[in-house]
Amino acid sequence: MEIQKLYDLDDIEFEDIAIGLVRLAKNIPDHEFFFKINRDNDLTFSRKKDVILHGAYFDYYFPRFEAYHKFTKTCFTFISNRSSESKQKKLQTELFTEEENIKFLLNNQVDVEYILHSSEQFPDFSVILLPENLVFPIQDYTLSSEEELYQIIQYYE
């Protein structure tokens, strides 16, 4: 009797994820930013376990904040684009390594402070009132399944 494959991993198409890119107009600490968001919304963002990326020479830590919107039944997650901390695992002995002590989740968007993700397939970030004169409008961005950040978001979801 022949065993039938239910699915082939090569044939599965992964759907893109819609995220929001959040840029701040001025540099403020995380706790102050989320205090202002929590004050203006019926959301309560709290710090969750950091997103951790393991490099060859460093482990990188990215702060993560989550809140649940009861009316829309949606979980919103802010992830810092820039690592807040890095721990050196071993000494760099090579002259030209591409790994530094600071890492960005989106290397081509270093001016972005936070990556905003939602549990919804088609997120509506307009339910979050952002502080005036502090945040630029949220930029919609689509992640394809080939990008490293896509895999990270799927893992931490």
Map out the domains of the chain as residue ranges: 17-156
- Per-residue model confidence as pLDDT tens digits over 97-155: 777 889 999 988 999 999 999 988 788 888 898 888 899 999 999 988 888 888 888 88
- Per-residue model confidence as pLDDT tens digits over 37-84: 999 888 899 999 999 999 888 899 999 999 998 888 889 999 999 999
Residue type present at position 137: P
Environment class of residue 53 by beta-carbon count within 10 Å: exposed (0-12), middle (13-18) or buried (19+)?
Answer: middle
pLDDT reading at 1 higher than 50: no
Mean pLDDT of 82-95: 84
Closest CA to 57 of 22, 20, 13, 101: 101
pLDDT reading at 23 higher than 90: yes
Q: Supply φ then ψ for residue 136, to 5 degrees.
A: -75, 160
